[in-house]
């Protein structure tokens, strides 16, 4: 068996496969299917300062080669996460990445300060959420907004900080460089692309929130392109996601420059997707006499 371990910002992962935030909850349902220790890590459901019930349904819609969602960060809030979910997760012998989000920078700072006092391994800052104090513009939509919130959260915690980037921007590489400059230890990308579907019979959007995030195989080529561009623009590790469904997809993403991958929508169609991907990566490495998965990171040869 090949060496599947990777190191991101000083944190050792036994393999590079991580269920993405929002698809895995806090692992309680999935651990009825397989030991969570088999995973490289777990990115928890996005956690906010207080409990959120999420958006009104319908909030999930199937699309060709993917899905739209506008769940709205439904979660129990940081205090319930700290008292109930995190203690259980820390027993699972895998890297725990706490994904956090806030309507203001101050909320993100407060959450990070609370997490800093725990044994969570890493924090993933979602900067694709609307910034209420700035007219609803997402923090990650501009270099200034992305840099500003990264700087504030960086001061609030000593934990390794991953910043999750939105693809709904003019230049994702400039955004990545701006958060790197303010202390991000890694970046993860891509978050969902903004999309919309309409029911032609009712003439209403299928989602109650009108628009939602597009994920699944349809976004994979966009994700590979953005990961490749970003990996060539920053010195910090890149965690790739967006439409990864198979081991082949994961390998392609890592060849583009990702040090690890997150698996999202595929978990809904195949609950064992992450486990299958780990096994498929290992088979590829063995079949090609590659001793370590690190050898394929950034190994693409552009024309």
Average pLDDT over residues 256-273: 97
Whether 132 has a pLDDT exceeding 80, the answer reads no
Give the model's confidence band at 167: pLDDT under 50 very low, under 70 low, under 90 confident, else very high: very high
The number of CA neighbours under 13 Å toward the Cβ of 81 is 29
Whether 127 has a pLDDT exceeding 70, the answer reads yes
Q: What percent of the chain has pLDDT over 90?
A: 96
- By residue count, the chain amounts to 303
Residue extents of the structural domains in the chain: 6-296
When the pLDDT of each residue in the chain is averaged and rounded to a whole number, the result is: 96
Q: What angle do CA 90, 242, 229 make, to 5 degrees?
A: 110
pLDDT at 78: 98
Give the model's confidence band at 102: pLDDT under 50 very low, under 70 low, under 90 confident, else very high: very high
Give the model's confidence band at 129: pLDDT under 50 very low, under 70 low, under 90 confident, else very high: confident
Whether 130 has a pLDDT exceeding 90, the answer reads no
* 35-44, 137-146, 230-239: least confident range: 137-146
Q: What angle do CA 121, 35, 93 make, to 5 degrees?
A: 25
pLDDT at 135: 61
pLDDT at 136: 60
Give the model's confidence band at 128: pLDDT under 50 very low, under 70 low, under 90 confident, else very high: confident
CATH node for 6-296: 3.20.20.70
d(CA 168, CA 77): 26
Active site residue 108: no
- The residue from 43, 109, 127, 129 that is catalytic is 129
* Per-residue pLDDT reduced to its tens digit, 177-233: 999 999 999 999 999 999 999 999 999 999 999 999 999 999 999 999 999 999 999
pLDDT at 214: 96
pLDDT at 134: 65
pLDDT at 133: 65
Quote the tokens at residue 181: 């400059």
């Amino acid at each position: 068996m090949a060496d599947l371990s990777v190191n991101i910002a000083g944190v050792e992962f036994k393999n590079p496969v991580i269920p993405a935030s929002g698809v895995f909850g806090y692992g309680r349902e999935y651990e009825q299917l397989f030991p969570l220790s088999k995973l490289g890590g777990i990115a928890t459901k996005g956690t906010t300062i207080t409990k959120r019930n999420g958006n009104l349904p319908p909030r999930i819609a199937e699309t060709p080669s993917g899905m739209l969602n506008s769940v709205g960060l439904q979660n129990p809030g940081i205090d319930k996460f700290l008292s109930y979910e995190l203690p259980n997760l820390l027993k699972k012998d895998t890297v725990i990445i706490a994904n956090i989000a806030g309507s203001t920078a101050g909320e993100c700072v407060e959450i990070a300060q609370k997490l800093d006092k725990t044994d969570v391994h890493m924090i993933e800052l979602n900067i694709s959420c609307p910034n209420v104090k700035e007219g609803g513009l997402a923090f990650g939509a501009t270099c200034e907004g992305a840099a500003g919130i990264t700087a504030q959260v960086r001061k609030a915690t000593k934990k390794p900080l991953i910043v999750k980037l939105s693809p709904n921007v003019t230049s994702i590489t400039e955004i990545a460089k701006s958060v790197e400059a303010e202390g991000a230890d890694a970046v993860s990308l891509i978050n969902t692309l903004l999309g919309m579907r309409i029911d032609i019979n009712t003439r209403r959007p299928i989602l109650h929130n009108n628009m939602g995030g597009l994920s699944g195989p349809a976004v994979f080529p966009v994700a590979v392109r953005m990961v490749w561009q970003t990996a060539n623009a920053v010195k910090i590790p890149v965690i790739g996601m967006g439409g990864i469904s198979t081991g082949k997809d994961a390998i392609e993403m890592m060849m583009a420059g990702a040090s690890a991958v997150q698996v999202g929508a595929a978990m809904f169609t195949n609950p064992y997707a992450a486990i299958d991907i780990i096994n498929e990566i290992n088979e590829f490495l063995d079949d090609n006499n590659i001793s370590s998965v690190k050898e394929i990171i950034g190994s693409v040869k552009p024309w």
